[in-house]
Amino acid sequence: MTQYKNRRAARKAWEKAIKKETGGKKELFHVEISHDEYCGVFKQAECNCNPHRRLFNASGKLIIEVRGVGFYDPFEVTGVSNV
């Protein structure tokens, strides 16, 4: 796993990988988000932890794994941003 120098660099790497792997393609991909046990998603609220993110292609090959990106927004992998 690549270590990024800060949250912004980690987020940019994640977003770039999502766009490269999924942009314009009609292929299956897998996103694995590992939330901390205290995270709001387990209490029917929004993510308030700093989950590990992993993106896999349809064959199950790991494309990228990042940590330190910050709160997870489900829209970040759809190309629809609410930011």
Tell me the number of residues near Zn ion by CB under 5 A. Answer: 5
35 touching Zn ion, by CB under 5 A: yes
Q: With beta carbons less than 8 A apart as the criterion, state whether 54 and 31 touch.
A: yes
The residue range among 15-23, 29-37, 60-68, 73-81 that interacts with Zn ion, by the rule CB under 5 A, is: 29-37
Q: How far is the CB of 10 from Zn ion (least distance, A)?
A: 15
Q: How far apart are CA 45 and CA 56, in angstroms?
A: 26
Q: How far apart are CA 67 and CA 55, in angstroms?
A: 12
Q: How far apart are CA 83 and CA 68, in angstroms?
A: 18
Nearer to Zn ion, 18 or 47 (CB): 47
52 touching Zn ion, by CB under 5 A: no
Contacting residues toward Zn ion, per CB under 5 A = 35, 39, 47, 49, 51
